[in-house]
Amino acid sequence: MKRDPVAFLKEEMKDLRNKNLEWIIRYLEEGSKPHSVVDGKKVLMLNTNNYLGLASHPKVIQAAIDATRKYGAGAGAVPVIAGSFDLTKIFQEKFAKFKEVEASLLCQTGYAVNSGLIPMLVGKPDIVVSDELNHGSIIDGVRLSGAKRIIYKHRDTSDLENQLKEAEKERARRICIITDGVFSMDGDIAPLGDIAKVAEEFGAMIFVDDCHGEGVLGNGRGIVAHFNLQGKVHIEGGSMSKGFGVFGGTVAGSKDLIEFCANKSRTYLLSTAHPPGVVAACIASIEVVETEPEHVKRVWDHTNYFKKEVQNMGYNTGNSETPIIPLIIGDPGKAQELARVLFEEENIYGTPIVFPMVAKELSRIRVQMNALLTKDDLNTALSAIEKIGKKLKII
């Protein structure tokens, strides 16, 4: 019998559906705002990374329009050939000043930063000491590097110190500690101050992925500013596509680091640069964060209120310390069902997070606060989450 070489595709998807592990993709028909149209339905959005609501900020939108009219729709080349505009230089200088470092680089995505830069910083003669709950893009970057990977217990600096002692015995060329700043599935924060002290003792590099901290922590400047560690963290990876509401990955640090990244990171060197309109929008979003502090304040006010209310209902929010508020259900089927009923019956869009994003037994709905939400929006969502949670015997 003739063999079907792609039969496995259908079989594996069938298996995922049977285990309640399929990702359901819904399509927005309006912008990323608290109220949007998704699959033809007007819904309240509780699941975007657009924490400050800047994706729809008039100044950010206008900057994109003006630059597109002046420069066109696309960059036309990779950054090192002809894809870097004067706007790119302006952004990189402004972002470095904003982060209080010597230099910065605008890269294609946060994922591209990790998968492209980590393999250049470390290789087979080196050791990476990595938090056990680091983002998949960090894991992929370390695998691509070929460096030996040592895992330390989540946010446990005592275990980190023990692992560094073991790493030191191997006389590696370099030791690099890598951690998320804000852990995207749980909303907890890396103890970066303690990590910096341990790293200095062992002469280790620190690489922090601050994608979910930028725009939120440290008055918008991120986790390094939050802990007042400017100059003590060697590599800051980040993203313009979350708190800043636009798109793109970033690297911030010393002039030496940025020159190294611009010459060595394959994802940066071999991917087309951002459209000029996107770069202009990134510039505008930084200016908004600098001049309109009310957005950061509002997202934290919402976070504190919402988290307290869902905890009082009996939901498990884990160790969340940020606008990422997980409602940890446990069973992936119930997590999928809670999201489905909220969407279909209550017009509330929340995404179920299941394996491989989290362990199967920690399946959840990840709620994310947005500065543009109103108190009425929050109360509407809280009422529905309580009602459906009781109906499904989750709380």
Residue extents of the structural domains in the chain: 25-51+293-391, 58-291
Distances (CA, A) of 50 to 54, 264, 358, 372, 390: 7, 31, 21, 10, 29
Is the pLDDT score of 165 beyond 90?
yes
Report the DSSP beta bridge partners of residue 179: 208
* 144-149, Cβ contacts within 8 angstroms, sequence gap of 24 or more: 144/115, 144/118, 144/119, 145/118, 145/119, 145/121, 146/119, 147/122, 147/123, 147/176, 148/172
Rounded to the nearest 10°, the torsion over CA 76, 78, 79, 80 is: -120
Query: How does residue 329 score in pLDDT terms, banded at 50, 70 and 90?
Result: very high
Catalytic residue among 135, 212, 226, 334: 212
For residue 376 the two structure tokens come to 């009425």
Q: Is 184 one of the catalytic residues? A: yes
Q: What is the mean pLDDT of residues 271-288?
A: 98
Which class does domain 58-291 fall in?
Answer: alpha beta
Catalytic option among 104, 115, 145, 184: 184
Average pLDDT over residues 215-240: 96
Q: What is the pLDDT of residue 382?
A: 98
Residue 182 predicted with pLDDT over 90:
yes
Q: Which of 57, 135, 226, 242 is catalytic?
A: 242
Give the pLDDT confidence of 36-81 residue by residue, as tens digits: 999 999 999 999 999 999 999 999 999 999 999 999 999 999 999 9
Whether the predicted pLDDT of 244 surpasses 90: yes
How confident is residue 375, by pLDDT bands cut at 50, 70 and 90? Answer: very high
Given a cut of 90, whether residue 299 has pLDDT beyond it is yes
For residue 42, the Cα-to-chain-centroid distance in whole angstroms is 26
Q: How confident is the model at residue 354 (pLDDT cuts 50, 70, 90)?
A: confident
Closest CA to 98 of 246, 214, 245, 4: 214
pLDDT for position 24: 86
- On average, the pLDDT of the chain sits at 96
**pLDDT band for position 349 (50/70/90)?**
very high
**Which tens digit of pLDDT belongs to each residue from 257-273?**
999 999 999 999 999 99
**Residue 264: Cβ-neighbour burial (10 angstroms; 0-12, 13-18, 19+):** middle
Q: Is 242 among the catalytic positions?
A: yes
How much is the average pLDDT of 151-175? 96
Distance CA 222, CA 301 (A): 18
320 is catalytic: no
- Has domain 25-51+293-391 been given CATH number 3.90.1150.10? yes
25-51+293-391 shares its CATH topology with 58-291: no
The token pair at 329 is: 């259900």
Please tell me the predicted confidence (pLDDT) of residue 20. Answer: 85
